[in-house]
Chains A and B, each alone.
Chain A
Amino acid sequence: MFYREAGQFKSTYAEDQRLFPIRQDRIGMAVILAIAFLVLPIASSAPALRGVIDFNYWYNGVIIPFLIFSLAALGLNILTGYAGLLSLGTGAFMAVGAFAAYNFELRVPGIPMLASFILAGIVAAGVGLVFGLPSLRIKGFYLAVATLAAQFFVVWALTKFPWFSNYSTSGVIAAQKLVAFGYAFDSPVKRYLLVLVIVALMALAAKNMVRSSTGRAWMAVRDMDVAAEVIGIPMMRTKLLAFAVSSFYCGVAGALYAFAYLGNVEPQAFDLDLSFRILFMIIIGGVGSILGSFLGAAFIVVLPILLDIWATWFERTAGIAVPAGLVSNLTLIIFGALIVFFLAVEPLGLARLWQVAKDKLRLWPFPH
């Protein structure tokens, strides 16, 4: 009843090809963007609400990491979800982005912050290209092992060569202040808006990329690469482009992780654990879907925090002492169970569930 597209006619090709062809989708997207760009920042500066909701915590601890991990998940989704090239090296490419951005800021005087992020992404893309070369000969799990090599090699190299961390005694880099266009992004709201703008623009670019011929070439390679080669899709260019674009996204996500979220990072922060975490995000969220990256990241970033908060609230109101560590272990159990559940029941993840829901809503209240 709410979702029917009856009465919505498309009279130009442009209307037919738009990102959100259904008007309700466009309204929903506009509402989400309005909340993200306008409502949240305005609400967080309203004195009345500031005493009730700790916005700085939600920005610093939940929303900014959610956006950053969505960007990394987006990168991995392009590589694994759309191009079908299984990769376990996401953490490494994020590390390259973080350290590259730090070094550009450090060694090139007066470089604009956004330029150093873009250059960091390009450096990460270069590294991704090099480690993507094995994909031309091997597929599937064997390729995963090759990307695993990337994961270990990059973290080892960043630890072993002190030049990368400017000869700091502990290998930890202290990210420089976020300053762009003469404007200092030092409060949580400002950092949130900067990250939001970057992630929104890159998500838009990704969405357009996967709908273009590049994206279709990737999906062809994923579905049956022999047939794709037969009909004339260049394998090397397509696969390496997937690695490059994906690593670019992960590199920018890594730079944001260091600059806008943690402030201090060491190479061990980008270990195999992080790569698996992002892989779980796209598995649960939905491989091969842009929305799935966001849903998966929300799930994996926000759920443990919510469980922890709920456990503390439960402890306080019910007066029962929850054994320390129970919640963490419970989170791991729930995640494991969910991954098994999704792979068995709905391999295409939360995004597919949303799509099914949308399809049903288009018919509702009619059954068919």
Chain B
Amino acid sequence: MFRHLRRPAAVVLGAAALVAAGTAQAQNEQFIPMNGYWVGPYAAGGSGIFGGFIDYINMVNARDGGINGVKLTYEKCETEYNNARGVECYERTKKMGPTGASLVMPLSTGITYSLIDKGAADHVPIVSIGYGRTDASDGRVFPWIFPLITNYWSQNTAKIKFIAAKEGGMDKLKGKKIVNLYHDSAYGKETIPVLDAQAKKYGFEVTHIPVAHPGNEQQAQWLQVRQIKPDWVILRGWGVMNPTALKAAARVGFPRTKMVGVWWSGAEEDVIPAGDAAKGFYAAAFNVSGSNYPVIREIEKFVYAKGKGEMEDRSRVGSIYYNRGVVFGIVATEAIRTAQAHYGKGKPMTGDQIRWGLEHLSIDDKDLKQLGATGFMQALKVSCTDHEGGGAVKFLQWDGKKWNTVTDWISSDQSLVRPMIEESAAKYAKEKGITPRDCSREG
């Protein structure tokens, strides 16, 4: 008779046991939830990035004993790149650790959108390095969201600058044809307005062609590209869409040296499956590949030498996705360090304090040298109004074996991007009834 009560009772007892076990931990710790994905079509990106992130955290613990003595702890939660699972992982992990979750890096534009309101309500900063929500770069409307380093619109203007450089100057863009082949999702559609604005400004013609998720069927789209005969194709793909596009381009006869990818189509896992078809393909990046950097060497020395590394395949250390994860780790630890410098060294920081730390994060060339990341990532300066903080990208080219850096840091066109961001953020503020903060009043 009480059988129908057994399941809820077991669930409640199990949860109570778990939470009781969880809170019986040391108090001088800083908890960072690792809500990522290690399965599914995007597992290569997720496992690489979170591998790098976790390895960096473990390296800081092993080499420095944490941040000013505060050890960093983490817990993995599988989101499967699914919004509902992402929300559930966030809810599960947001209260863990002595001060709750420090910050959440969902590695998914969709999950970031779902967490915008929740992060603000629960006082957990949501850090979306290199992805959406783009208009959250206006920190006055989105105090808890940090699309750090470069958002999609900035990198898109840098991409047009790169294409113009290849064509011989910004004025040579007039009359050229560019196709924007994008993944048909929130991520894919974000750059359509900024491309249209630049097309109007510089006089080139842009055609937007969507590819339905997951993107392993692109025959129709590439026939359309062949008809248009564009000068350049911007590949805004993710996961399996990328190698499929490169192979389709080879079949249709479109030169890969005229294709530029975003940083989510510019990793080894995106081009190796395409084989020879990928040679010559360009991609934007806010971090480079290679293990010849002091920070990677430190990770190998303090983590892998002791057999505690995350990557089962050692050759992935130093790949684009892995290094990106290391960048995530650097940003997270430096934000915590900045918060501690202000609120008290050697104490675990709360979500509010880390938000302050993120908003006042500044990594200059001197800091990069100390971190061992010179040339690895760009300098960063975040402020209340500017939650992006960077805005420059490098361009890489695949030669069949590795990604070679072919440009220096190309900055974005903030004169075009920033007004669009502020307009979009103001529209969101009006829709939701938010009063933007007055940054001149805050510390």
Q: Chain A residues in contact with chain B, CB under 8 A?
A: 2-3, 24, 28, 31-32, 35, 52-54, 56-58, 60-62, 65, 159, 166, 169-172, 174, 261-266, 268-269, 271, 298, 302, 304-306, 308-310, 312-313, 316-317, 323-325, 327-329, 354, 357, 361
Contact B77 A268 (CB under 8 A): no
The docked-state distance in angstroms from the alpha carbon of A354 to that of B291 is 59
The number of inter-chain residue pairs (CB within 8 angstroms) is: 138
Contact B132 A57, beta carbon cutoff 8 Å: no
CB distance from A323 to the nearest CB of B (A): 8
B8 within 8 A of A: yes
Contacts of A166 in B (CB 8 A): 431
Asked if B189 and A169 make an inter-chain contact with CB atoms under 8 angstroms apart, the answer reads yes
B83 near A: Cβ within 8 Å? Answer: yes
Inter-chain contacts of A263 with B (CB < 8 A) = 114, 116-118
Chain A residue contacts of B45, Cβ below 8 A: none
Task: List the B residue with the shortest CB-CB distance to A58.
Answer: B15
A266 touches B186 (CB 8 A): yes
Q: How many residues of B contact A (CB 8 A)?
A: 62
Q: Is the CB of A53 within 8 A of B424?
A: no
Besides A28-B1, A324-B38, 16 other CB < 8 A contacts? A52-B16, A61-B88, A61-B92, A62-B88, A169-B193, A170-B132, A174-B113, A261-B84, A261-B87, A263-B116, A268-B186, A304-B85, A309-B15, A309-B18, A312-B77, A323-B312
List chain A residues, Cβ under 8 A from B8: 35
Give 20 A-B contacts (CB < 8 Å), ordered by A residue. Answer: A28-B1, A32-B4, A53-B15, A53-B16, A54-B15, A57-B94, A57-B95, A65-B84, A169-B193, A170-B189, A170-B190, A172-B186, A174-B113, A263-B118, A304-B85, A306-B14, A313-B18, A317-B21, A324-B38, A324-B47
B428 CB contact (under 8 Å) in A174, A269, A304, A354 = A174
Tell me the complex Cα distance, A56–B135, Å. Answer: 29
Given contacts A170-B186, A170-B189, contact A268 B110 (CB under 8 A): yes
Contact across chains for B83 and A262 when beta carbons are under 8 A apart: yes
Q: Is the CB of A325 within 8 A of B21?
A: no
- In angstroms, Cα B5 to Cα A35, docked, is 10
**Which chain A residues lie closer than 8 Å to B76 at the CB level?**
312, 324
Query: Which of B18, B36, B39, B113 has a CB less than 8 Å from the CB of A172?
Result: B113
Q: How far does the alpha carbon of A174 sit from the alpha carbon of B428 in the complex, in Å?
A: 9
- Tell me how far the C-beta of A272 lies from the nearest C-beta in chain B, rounded to whole angstroms: 10
In the complex, are the beta carbons of A54 and B95 less than 8 A apart?
yes
Asked if residues B77 and A264 are in contact (CB atoms below 8 Å), the reply is no
Known: A170-B109, A328-B38, A357-B3. A60 touches B91 (CB 8 A): yes
A170 contact set on B, CB distance < 8 A: 109, 113, 132-133, 186-187, 189-190
Q: Mark B5-20, 1 if CB is under 8 A from A, else 0.
A: 1011001101110111
A interface majority secondary structure: helix
Q: Residues on B close to A: CB < 8 A?
A: 1, 3-5, 7-8, 11-12, 14-16, 18-21, 36-40, 43, 47, 50, 75-78, 80, 83-85, 87-88, 91-92, 94-95, 109-110, 113-114, 116-118, 132-135, 184-187, 189-190, 192-193, 213, 312, 424, 428, 431-432
Name the one of B87, B190, B424 contacting A61, with C-beta atoms under 8 angstroms: B87
B185 touches A3 (CB 8 A): no
In the complex with contacts A174-B428, A266-B186, A302-B11, A308-B78 CB distance below 8 A = yes
Residues on B with C-beta less than 8 A from A53 are 12, 15-16, 19
Identify the 4 closest CB pairs spanning chains A and B, nearest first: A325-B38, A61-B91, A324-B38, A170-B186
Minimum CB–CB distance for A364 against chain B, Å = 10
Report the minimal beta-carbon distance from A207 to chain B, rounded to whole angstroms.
16
Chain B neighbourhood of A264, CB < 8 A: 113-114, 116-117
Tell me if A174 and B431 are in contact (CB < 8 A). Answer: yes
Tell me, in angstroms, the Cα distance from A3 to B3 when the chains sit together: 12
Residues of A within 8 A of B192 (CB): 169
Assess the B186–A328 pair: CB atoms within 8 A: no
Residue of B19, B39, B92, B184 touching A325 (CB-CB under 8 A)? B39
CA distance A316 to B96 in the complex (A): 14
Residue of A nearest to B212 (CB): A156
A25 to B, closest residue via Cβ: B1
* Complex CA–CA separation, A174 to B94 (angstroms): 22
**How distant is A172 from chain B, measured CB to nearest CB, in Å?**
5
The CA-CA distance from A159 to B170 in the complex, in Å, is: 33
Q: Which residue of B lies closest to A316 (CB)?
A: B21
CB distance from B2 to the nearest CB of A (A): 8
Tell me the complex Cα distance, A304–B184, Å.
Answer: 28
In the bound complex, residues from chain B placing their C-beta under 8 Å from that of A313 are 18, 21
B87 & A262 in contact (Cβ 8 Å cutoff): yes
Contact residues in A for B84 (Cβ distance below 8 Å): 65, 261-262, 269
Q: Report the bound CA distance from A159 to B208 in whole Å.
A: 14
Task: Note all chain A residues with C-beta closer than 8 A to B110.
Answer: 172, 266, 268-269
C-alpha spacing A327/B85, complex, angstroms:
13
Contacts of A328 in B (CB 8 A): 38-40, 78, 80
> Is B38 in contact with A312, judged by CB distance below 8 angstroms?
no
Q: Which residues of B contact A32 (CB under 8 A)?
A: 4-5
How far apart are the CA atoms of A65 and B83 in the complex, in Å? 12
Q: How far is the CA of A306 from the CA of B213 in the complex (A)?
A: 29
Which residue on chain B has the smallest CB distance to residue A55?
A: B15
Separation of A132 and B366 alpha carbons in the complex (Å): 66
Of B5, B11, B193, the contact of A306 (CB 8 Å cutoff): B11
